[in-house]
């Protein structure tokens, strides 16, 4: 900080001048310092997400932030990024204060030890520091990606992200029917019928031949999971709809002698959820 040399004597005979000088010194001394209230607001925001207090976190953002993303998309994106896995600390490595805005760069660490690099901007609104934007650095570290905003992502994205999670009964049926259809293709050694019933998005990504070749190891190893038909699935993670509208279902069937562990992806093809991806393992 540049040293200021008084141009008038500092005596009690000049109380007004002394007060003015002190005000200038205090103001200059504060410039460039971190804003503790902004730090506290950011930390509280991520701790609320870490404890799954999504409504509180969402309401602590600015009006502009909420106008750019729905609560459902906010919640889904936070989960995808791993911010809801029990946040234990926020470490800010860079602080860039401006007149009424603070940009914090750092990382959020979860209870599981995962760190999420984050760039958060906070601004004063109604006398309180509120989150204005949340971004993550790209792989190069040179660009910032807005993971939360729906602005500019199109109506199709907004519609997909707005779908509610189906009922537990529906998800159980989706899981069982999809895996039995997959198993039938393995036993027939022919994925034509299976391919005809998966989502349009998956069909757009690969041909029937590519699908058959991808799952040929299941045929070669004579995998058979027909025993799951009369068993309830156990969901190892709560089913969730991601911000891109994809429903993720992950769990296992305790079939014997080998249990079937699955991770299924579904996309919404009106009026049904249809399979968009299969990951299957059979093991003790």
The C-alpha atoms of residue 192 and residue 133 are separated, in whole angstroms, by: 46
The DSSP letter of residue 61 is B
Which residue did the predictor score with more confidence, 126 or 221? 221
Domains and their CATH numbers in the chain: 36-152 (3.10.450.100), 168-283 (3.10.450.630)
**Rounded (10°) angle between helices 154-161 and 71-81:** 80
Q: Is 208 exposed, middle or buried (0-12, 13-18, 19+ CB in 10 A)?
A: middle
- Give the DSSP letter of residue 228: G
Residue located via tokens 């027939």: 188
141-166 pLDDT tens trace: 678 887 776 544 444 444 445 567 88
d(CA 219, CA 222): 5
Predicted TM-score (pTM) of the model is 0.49
Whether 31 has a pLDDT exceeding 60, the answer reads no
Q: Where would I find the H helices in 102-247?
A: 154-161, 168-188, 192-197, 200-205, 208-214, 216-220
Q: Torsions phi, psi of 261, nearest 5?
A: -105, 130
Across 87-91, 138-142, 254-258, which has the greatest mean pLDDT?
254-258
Asked whether the beta carbons of 87 and 44 are under 8 A apart, the reply is no
Q: Can you give the pLDDT at residue 142?
A: 72
């Amino acid at each position: 900080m540049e040293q200021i040399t008084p141009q008038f004597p500092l005596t009690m005979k000049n109380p007004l001048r002394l007060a003015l000088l002190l005000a200038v010194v205090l103001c200059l001394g504060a410039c460039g310092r971190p804003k503790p209230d902004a730090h506290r607001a950011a930390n509280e925001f991520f701790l609320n997400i870490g404890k799954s207090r999504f409504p509180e976190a969402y309401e602590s953002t600015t009006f502009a932030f909420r106008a750019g993303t729905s609560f459902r998309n906010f919640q889904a994106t936070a989960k995808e990024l791993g911010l809801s896995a029990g946040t234990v600390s926020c470490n800010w490595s860079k602080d860039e204060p401006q007149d009424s805005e603070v940009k914090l760069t750092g990382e959020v660490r979860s209870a599981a030890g995962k760190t999420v690099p984050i760039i958060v901007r906070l601004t004063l609104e109604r006398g309180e520091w509120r989150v204005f934007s949340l971004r993550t650095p790209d792989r190069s570290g040179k660009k910032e990606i807005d993971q939360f905003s729906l602005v500019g992502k199109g109506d199709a994205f907004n519609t997909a992200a707005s779908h509610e999670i189906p009922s537990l009964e529906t998800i159980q049926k989706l899981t069982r029917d999809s895996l039995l259809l997959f198993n039938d293709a393995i036993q027939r050694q022919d994925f034509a019928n299976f391919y005809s019933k998966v989502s349009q998005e998956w069909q757009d990504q690969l041909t029937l031949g590519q699908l058959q070749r991808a799952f040929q190891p299941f045929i070669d190893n004579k995998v058979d999971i027909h025993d799951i038909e009369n068993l309830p699935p156990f969901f190892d993670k709560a089913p969730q709809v991601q911000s891109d509208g994809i429903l993720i279902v992950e769990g296992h069937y305790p079939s014997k002698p080998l249990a079937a562990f699955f991770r299924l992806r579904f996309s919404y093809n009106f009026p049904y959820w249809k399979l968009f991806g299969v990951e299957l393992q059979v093991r003790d």
